[in-house]
Amino acid sequence: MTSVNLNTIALAQLPVHVGDVAGNVRRIAEAAREACAAGARILLCPELALLGYPPDDLLQRRSLPQLIERSLLELAAEVGDIHVVVGYPEFTGQTCYNAAAVLHQGVVRHTYRKQKLPNYGVFDELRHFRAGTAPCIFEVDGTRYGLSICEDLWSPDVAAQAAAQGAQVLLNINASPFDQHKRAQRAEVIRQRVAETGLAIAYVNAVGGQDDVVFDGDSQCWDSSGHRVLRAPAFVEGVFGIEGHPDFADPEGVAVLYQALVRALRDYVDRNGFPLAYIGLSGGIDSAVTLALAVDALGAQRVRGVAMPSPYSAAMSRDDALEQAHAMGVACESIAIEPAMQAYEQMLANAFAGTQPDTAEENLQARIRGALLMALANKFSAVVLTTGNKSEMAVGYCTLYGDMCGGFAPLKDVYKMQVYALARYRNQCSAVIPERVITRPPSAELRPDQRDDQSLPPYDQLDAMLKAYIEHEASVGELYAQGFAKADVDRVVRLVRLSEYKRRQAAPGPKVSSCAFGRERRYPLTAQYGEL
């Protein structure tokens, strides 16, 4: 196939905001002016960029069709001699399509409707959209372009359809959430479509956090020979073109995971208008990493640490928490919870008479701390960042209305061993987390000499088991066959099943794995499936 000039294409890696249609129009119009000034002839904007993704049941609002139609025309009026491809919901009567419009010189020139509607994981598109069936091919300066939207690229059909209609370049707009494997998968999918069709492909993706998903950008262009000629940087917004923008070095592993969590946290706090974030500092690894993420996302002046020692808190835990807060420039106060513990003991003395102390008393400590953090957040219009990780959330090693209190959970989809990896990575950037926090055995410190491994298998074994069971849907029998001890498997699977009610009430947190709790993994609260 004849080579085409991809230098005329610009990719708008934009942080579109769900529901902020006027703001999204402004962001897209500014990107169009920037691209046009740089000499671009085509600007690609993300999937559903006009409304934001995922819009969920905002699509059911009766006033939305008129707002979208009016705003699309307003955006078209802002577009001069550049072809802007923008995603939007197209309403026709009672039907809604996930569509892309080509705007040029004040007019909607062409419209394409997404053909492959994903209905798995975080996607729920069959609830809202009808699938399109037809290609859209248009010409600019003698080159023929085909349109596709996100999932369309992941099967050969739509690209082949565009090629059969004479397209030379496939323009693909996306709102593709980040996970730790997605970036390599995207590149391989694009490479396959190029190899199958001989089309050059320009791929644009959204960037930024939106509730429980985070978009990483990773926008890119591939020529018809199968060479990637542009890759935009991860988690960075901007307008990118081949001329003047190299194939940026791609961060890998824990580095890109850290970037994802920082971006998700920043956007959640900023877009919801919180001036401050409060974090309960225990001196443990989870609160240490959460504090580092918060400071890197928001700046030290917008983060407050709160140490809430009990009689069971080790002195080194308090010292380590304060040392990190000082190293990161975070204001930290200490509120001892023993007076509240004594008050609760007195209040419950008659009701608990004749019983021995157990998890009820332990959980009271966590709930006292949760109440204090929420009081501070209420007083100062702030958000509480919960510090629990995916391993603990999976097996219920967390206290409802206690350490689960809060508005956002940055580590919700991060396994415990990954938390340690994040701590080591952050200390490579600058040493802020005390080494003792990373090396000491983890403990909830709710009773004397308590350690996590008294209640759970060692975290390296637990994480491996949970990944197999949750992300790869291994059965109990398959877990036995993989070499996990039968007693551990039976106990962990039972805990996962029994803890569903806690996860339903957990704060949102960013999806960074291939199967996150919440949108992606929805199990019944009341069910007997332990042997599955």
Q: Is 224 annotated as a binding residue?
A: no
Amino acid at 514: S
Q: Is there a binding annotation on residue 389?
A: no
Q: What is the H or E stretch that residue 163 is in?
A: helix 156-164
DSSP annotation string for 231-286: EPPBT--EEEESTT--BPPPP-HHHHHHHHHHHHHHHHHHHTT-S-EEEEE-SSHH
39 is in an annotated binding site: no
* Three-class secondary structure assignment of 76-107: HHHCCCCEEEEEEEEEECCEEEEEEEEEECCE
Q: How far is CA 360 from CA 242, 365, 397, 445, 500, in A?
A: 61, 9, 14, 14, 20
Residue written as tokens 């009766």? 62
Q: What is the CA 367 to chain-centroid distance, rounded?
A: 27
* Residue listed under structure tokens 């002016």: 33
Task: Judge whether 531 is annotated as a binding position.
Answer: no
| Known catalytic residue at 390 | no
Question: Choosing from 45, 90, 96, 114, which is the catalytic residue?
Answer: 114
Exactly one of 45, 96, 136, 150 is catalytic; name it: 150
Single out the residue of 50, 41, 138 nearest to residue 84, CA to CA. 41
Q: Is there a binding annotation on residue 280?
A: yes
Is 47 an annotated catalytic residue?
yes
**428's tokens:** 């490579």
114 is catalytic: yes
Was 238 annotated as part of a binding site?
Answer: no
Choose among 308, 451, 290: nearest CA to 367. Answer: 308
Cis peptide before 54 (omega within 30 of 0): yes
Helix (H, G, I), strand (E, B) or coil at 190: helix
From 45, 47, 136, 332, active-site residue: 47
Q: What are phi and psi of 103, to 5 degrees?
A: -105, 135
Residue 23, annotated as binding a ligand: no
For tokens 């957990």, name the residue: 506
Q: Confirm whether residue 392 is marked as ligand binding.
A: yes
Contact between 218 and 232 under an 8 Å Cβ cutoff? The reply is yes
Does 379 show up as a binding residue in the annotation?
A: no
- Outline where DSSP puts E strands in 3-79: 9-13, 42-44
Check the annotation: does 287 bind a ligand: yes
Helix ranges (DSSP H) in 349-411: 359-379, 390-395
How would you class 166 by CB atoms within 10 Å of its CB: exposed for 0-12, middle for 13-18, buried for 19 or more? exposed
User: In one letter, which amino acid is 36?
Assistant: C
Q: Is 284 annotated as a binding residue?
A: yes
Annotated binding site: 120, 176, 182, 280-287, 363, 387, 392, 502
Annotated binding site for L-glutamine: 120, 176, 182
**Catalytic residue numbers?**
47, 114, 150
Annotated binding site for deamido-NAD(+): 363, 392, 502
Annotated binding site for ATP: 280-287, 387
